Structure 1
Amino acid sequence: MSDVAHDTSRSALGTGLILAAVSAVTFSLSGPFAAGLFATGWSPGAVVLVRVGIGALVVLPFGVVALRGDWGPVRRNVRLLLVYGALGVAATQFCYFAAVQHMQVGPALLIEYSSPAAVVTWLWLRHGQRPGRTTVAGIALAAVGLVLVLDLTGARLDPVGVAWALGAMVGVSAYFLLNARAHTGLPPLSLAAGGLVVGAAVLGLLAAVGVMPVTASADPVDLAGAVVPTWLVLAVLGVVTAGVAYVTGVGAGRRLGARPSSFVGLLEVVSAVFFAWLLLGELPSPVQLLGGLVLLTGVVVVQQGEAATRRAAPRGTVEPVAAPD
């Protein structure tokens, strides 16, 4: 019987790693596609609003079907859905773009992607889940790799920008922590759908009151030397980089837990550099390539450390790997 449980746990971990990688890669596509829209006159607020709005429209029907007519989990988790949508979706997007209005992209991303360290600290202080030595070593490697990938040469910090970037970091941390809450009764599709709907509503409100400027253009977008119609770029942003990314992110969190899934999420940085080269012709430097290897090594080491912790700890003392709803 224990062998069956072990195999099931390993299967859940393997599926979780695949879902986390898919989520990271699909999230990373948003940068190059959004950059193409920015070049034609779109404002960051307009891109984010349309992206999240399309994602909500696409995922919502699947989220409703996943409930199978039982709306009880939604009523019991209204606060969770509001927090997930406001922090994990809207605040993450809005605060990041507000940050880059005051500082360079590299430092803003570095602060935002320090979220795995925040997740580790929260789980340690709040739930007593102390990371093992191997996990800590992986964290250190991932941090070094992240700094190298972002190539912060000559970067300058602005206090206002730092504050907004910290807000984005809080949003990303909430995203990973709430994804891992497996015993809410909400199917992953329903959590993703509810979060996207709430996030779209919050962003729409920010746009309506003028806090988030919104400008758009119908001009086609230049990607990888090809002229792409605006509607296609928006479809990819909404369906792939929002819908698929959030759904697979929730699925990964349910199977891996918050700590491991947050570090696999760092693959988004490496993938973003690759897509920037492929779609925008921005060739990564040797330092960035080295940083990517170091970061990937750190992620692997963290996963090994988490697996060792699960094997060594008594049942119930570490964050459980949840079965799919």
Structure 2
Amino acid sequence: MTKGIAVKRTSTTAGLLVALLAAATFGLSGAFVKPLLEAGWSPAAAVTVRALIGGIVLAPIAATALRGKWGALWLARWRVLGMALIGVAGTQVVYFAAVQRIPVSTAILVEYMAPLLLVAGVWVVTRRRPKVVVLVGSVVALAGLVLVVSPGGTGSLDVLGLGFAALAMVGCALYYVIAARPSRGLPPVAFAAAGLLGGAAALGLVGLTGVVPFAATFTTVDMLGSPAPWWVPLLIVGVLATAVAYAASITASEMLGSRLASFVGLLEVVAAALYAWLFLGENLSVPQLLGGLLILAGIAFVRSEKTEPALVEPEVALVETRVEPVETAKPA
């Protein structure tokens, strides 16, 4: 019994480490996409190429992981389609539609309220109120998120822009739900590769229809204070902030479940702020640092609820069914 508890704890710890890797690599995207945007790339074009590069990088690894069991892709076709259309393409499109109408910080704040949406969704579906530690963790993490993104309070907010941001929040929540679904034999890296390639195709089609601006320039860009070919930041984003990030995030979601993985995903915002400070020279304020600590505290609260049943319930069952062996086994 003790071994089973240790395995559960180790699995959660490993999942948290993978989720931290996902947040750290996802956070790189802002610092390295910004030079492309400043050079004339539209957000949709940058994201499309980013997803395509990520999918291509993961494709040979995915083929090796599948070991010829291509039927696993067919069995998971609806999950793959959901990841492509919602997790990769749809959420990105509505987010960019939001930032065209409202401040970026406000759009990020609304989108990253996805963990709270997941908590509320489970509450409604199961009709069971989340434990106090989850509710406290949600409030603490939200307070930290507000401090990190520092949403602007000036000017009137566009209702349609807020609506797009809310759709991005729903898409973000659904991403974690889809990522956490049972794999049915499909390796996470293969799922990530298929989702990215499908998402790139969907984004490309959206760009061709003209629903969102789709433009790219193939000149040198200003990256980290020095001129660089346009493909350098794209390669960094495609490999690290897309291929590695999506594969790690999906793996972590399968290990931790959608709720805990989504809370750890809030650290992506903290990582983005740190990278902007390191690479772009943007200010990193004391409230932002405090916000990062509050997000960590919120994750700790949610994790305590996640691990508590695994640590308590087996011991309760042991006492109820084997009272005498437990008592005699105790050291004198």
TM-score scaled by length of structure 1: 0.91
- Equivalent positions of 1:248-267 (< 5 A) are 248-267=248-267
Amino acid in structure 2 at the alignment position of 1:41: G
Matched with 2:207 is 207
Looking at structure 2, the residues matched to 14 and 21 of structure 1 have their Cα atoms a distance apart, in angstroms, of: 11
Asked if the contact 2:21–2:245 (Cα under 8 Å) also holds between the matched residues in 1, the reply is: yes
Runs of 4+ in 1 over 3 A off after TM superposition: 127-130, 309-315
Q: In 2, distance between residues paired with 1:259 and 1:311?
A: 19
In structure 1, runs of 5+ residues without a counterpart are 316-325
- Of the structure 1 ranges 97-106 and 165-174, higher mean CA displacement relative to structure 2 is found in 165-174
Which residue is equivalent to 1:17?
16
Q: Match of 1:93, as an amino acid?
A: Q
State which drifts further: 168-177 or 129-138: 129-138
Q: What residue in structure 1 maps to residue 113 of structure 2?
A: 114
The structure that has the greater radius of gyration is 2
Aligned equivalents of 1:138, 1:210: Cα separation in 2: 42
CA contact (8 A) 1:132 1:309 kept: no
Cα deviation for residue 220 of structure 1 reads 2.4
Please list the CA deviations of residues 162-221 of structure 1 after superposition, one character each: whole Å capped at 9, or x if unmatched: 111112111111111111113422111121111111111110110111112221122323
1:309 Cα offset (Å):
4.1
Q: 1:230 to 1:118 in 2, by over 3 A?
A: same
Q: Which amino acid aligns with 2:16?
A: L
CA contact (8 A) 2:144 2:295 kept: yes
Structure-2 change in CA distance of 1:110 and 1:127 (3 Å) = same
Note if contact 1:91-1:167 (Cα within 8 Å) is conserved in structure 2: no
Taking the aligned partners of 2:48 and 2:181, their CA distance within structure 1 comes to 26
Q: Distance in 2 between matches of 1:72 and 1:61?
A: 17
TM superposition shift of 1:129:
6.4
Tell me how far 1:229 sits from its aligned partner: 2.3
C-alpha contact (below 8 Å) 1:192/1:250 kept by paired residues: yes
Give the C-alpha shift of residue 154 in structure 1: 2.1
Q: Give, in whole Å, the separation in 2 of the partners of 1:309 and 1:128.
A: 19
Q: Deviations over 1:208-253 (max 9, x none)?
A: 1111222112232323323332211110111111100100001101
Deviation at 1:122, TM superposition (A): 2.1
SS where residue 75 of structure 1 aligns?
A: helix
Is residue 42 of structure 1 aligned with residue 41 of structure 2? yes
CA offsets 1:64-120 (integer angstroms, 9 cap, x no match): 222211122211221111111100111121111111000100110011001001112
Measured after TM superposition, the shift of residue 310 of structure 1 is: 4.0
What is the CA-CA distance between 1:276 and the residue it aligns to?
0.7
Aligned to 2:328: none
| Greater shift in the superposed pair: 302-311 or 166-175 | 302-311
**CA apart distance, 1:313:** 5.5
8 Å contact from structure 1 (residues 224, 278) kept in 2: no
Shift of 1:312: 4.2
% same residue:
42
- 1:229 maps onto 2:229 in alignment: yes
Kindly report which structure 2 residues correspond to 1:1-325, keeping only aligned pairs within 5 A, or say none: 2-127=1-126, 130-155=129-154, 156-312=156-312
1: CA distance, partners of 2:168 / 2:147: 21
**Aligned mates of 1:258, 1:12 — CA distance in 2:** 15
CA distance in 2 between partners of 1:215 and 1:58 (Å) = 23
CA distance in 2, matches of 1:14, 1:20: 10
Question: Which amino acid is the alignment partner of residue 66 of structure 2?
Answer: L
Tell me the SS of whatever aligns to 2:227. strand
After superposition, give the CA deviation of every residue in 1:17-60 in whole Å (9 maximum; x if it has no partner): 01101111111111111111111111111111110111111112
How far has the Cα of 1:12 moved from its partner?
Answer: 1.2
RMSD between aligned residues? 1.8
- Residues of 1 paired with 2:257 and 2:286: CA distance? 33
Inter-CA distance 28–313: structure 2 relative to 1 (3 Å threshold): same
Per the normalisation by structure 2, the TM-score is: 0.90
Matches of 1:97 and 1:218 in 2, distance apart? Answer: 22
Rounded Cα–Cα distance in structure 2 between residues aligned with 1:235 and 1:129? 46
